[in-house]
Amino acid sequence: MFRILALCGALLLPLIAQAQEPMRIGFLTVRTGPLAAGGKQMEQGIQLFLKEHNNTIAGRKVELIFADTGGNPAGAKTKTQELVERDKVHVVIGPLAAFEALAIDDYIRQTHTPTVSCSAAAEDLTQRKPNPWFVRTVGTSGQPNHALGEYAAKVLGYKRVAVIADDFAYGHETAAAFQRVFEDNGGKVVQKLLTPLNVPDYGSYLAQLKTNVDAVYAGFAGANGFRFLRQYKEYGLKMPVLGSMTTADEGILRQMGDEAIGVISAGWYAAGIDTPENQGFVAAVNKEYGVDPGYYTLGAYSAGALVEAAARAVKGKVEDKDAFMKALRHPGTVRDPRGEWHLDDYGNPVMPIYIRKVERRGGKLVNAVIHTYPNVSQFWKYPPKEFLANPVYSREFPPAKNLEP
């Protein structure tokens, strides 16, 4: 009998040890360079979520392991490998940039690493080349900009727009999505300027901008939106500015002045969403960090919520990669400060998209919601089969057929 009990005890020890082990979350962030502002907000979002949950998910303490990618593809791949092979993480949250997500795509497929993107919006990761080990709590690069393209043409009545955007995957995709829907609704993109991500000064580009347009569409990430809008005002340009979600993100609005007032952008979140859930979230972020939450904050906060829902579904047994990943891909209807959303068959949210306008309220700049598009898919109003038959959004697609010399 003693031998049987001893044997049973020996067999149970690994299970007990596993139950007592923390759940290890690897978090890919950026702490240097033009994308560092977004990285800081991502860290705030996940830390707030874990604090509210006593640093415990599905009955297991959480060990959160940060890895600074440096905001480049090589760094993202190296840090992901370290998190998986050295730190033995159960799930990766991140990375920040589209080009970083593309750089680690093959690796997370090969290693079967559950990955939740809370920021990177590269289109094809949930479109033509869906990764079964990848889901996201944010939309594709194009998703909000489809809505903005329609709004600019049908509601604002704009006919001619000049585009200026960061010259990397996210900038290409945001601008392309805006262009496609804007032109499908009768507008014309008559100029397209792409600027290096680390450009020291926008002066030479601002000097090229056409002034005989109804508006300028600005597609920037990180601190570049702040730098662009400041110089836009310094150059005395008066054309209305439309923007991608991150061009006027709450994370950089606090550094801006009157140059941001009136900027109209589209996004799946705004601190100005007038619901009890969001008001509570904004108050919590303000109390903890003294700032309003934005794109990166809510993306990471929601990633925590998605990981928690999936971990609960598998009763905390996140070591079962297949079951855990299945739960991540099928969370049902999720409600968070942005509203209700669910994942499509490709692992991308179907969610409300808000048209936001920068206003000054209570002594600070805010993105006020002026229109809501409900249940927006990454495919907009196009049939998915038709959408996927086209090339991914890029510098070349859709072709810019209305450019003027």
pLDDT in tens, 311-365: 999 999 999 999 999 999 999 999 999 999 999 999 999 999 999 999 998 889 9
pLDDT of residue 2: 37
pLDDT, tens only, 229-244: 999 999 999 999 999 9
Answer CATH for 143-273+352-389 from 3.30.110.40, 3.40.50.2300, 3.40.50.300, 3.40.50.800: 3.40.50.2300
Contact 69, 96 (CB under 8 A): yes
**What is the pLDDT at residue 223?**
84
Q: Which two tokens stand for residue 296?
A: 């990166």
User: 351 forms bridges with which residues in the sheet?
Assistant: 376
Kindly report the average pLDDT of the chain as a whole number.
93
pLDDT at 10: 46
CA dist 291 → 4, 10, 196, 252, 269 (Å): 60, 52, 29, 10, 15
The CATH class that applies to domain 2-139+275-350 reads alpha beta
Task: For residue 6, name the pLDDT band (cuts at 50, 70, 90).
Answer: very low
DSSP-based helix, strand, coil % in the chain, nearest 5: 40, 20, 35
Residues 225 and 248 sit within 8 Å (Cβ to Cβ): yes
Whether 196 has a pLDDT exceeding 90, the answer reads: yes
Q: What is the pLDDT of residue 290?
A: 94
Of the pLDDT bands very low, low, confident and very high (cuts 50, 70, 90), residue 34 is confident
The predicted pLDDT at position 251 comes to 85
Contacts 24+ apart (CB under 8 A), 13-17: none
State the pLDDT at residue 366: 93
pLDDT tens for residues 213-229?
999 999 998 789 999 99
Q: What is the pTM of this model?
A: 0.90
Contact 215, 189 (CB under 8 A): no
Whether residue 374 has pLDDT greater than 80: yes
Q: What is the pLDDT of residue 20?
A: 65
Across 19-29, average pLDDT: 90
User: Mean pLDDT over residues 97-108, rounded?
Assistant: 93
pLDDT of the residue at 21? 93
Task: Encode pLDDT of 53-74 as tens digits.
Answer: 999 999 999 999 999 999 999 9
Ordered alpha helix ranges (H), 268-382: 276-289, 295-313, 321-329
Phi, psi of 267 (to 5 degrees): -165, 165
Give mean pLDDT, residues 398-402.
97
Instruction: Name the percent of the chain lying above pLDDT 70.
Output: 95
Confidence of residue 197 (pLDDT cuts 50, 70, 90): confident
Question: What pLDDT is recorded for position 70?
Answer: 95
Strands 56-57 and 91-93: unpaired
Q: What is the pLDDT of residue 37?
A: 85
State the Cα–Cα distance between residues 206 and 202, nearest whole angstrom.
6
What residue spans in the chain does CATH classification 3.40.50.2300 cover? 2-139+275-350, 143-273+352-389
Residue 1's pLDDT band (cuts 50, 70, 90) = very low
DSSP 263: -
Contact 91, 118 (CB under 8 A): no
The per-residue pLDDT for range 146-173, each reduced to its tens digit, is 999 999 999 999 999 999 999 988 899 9
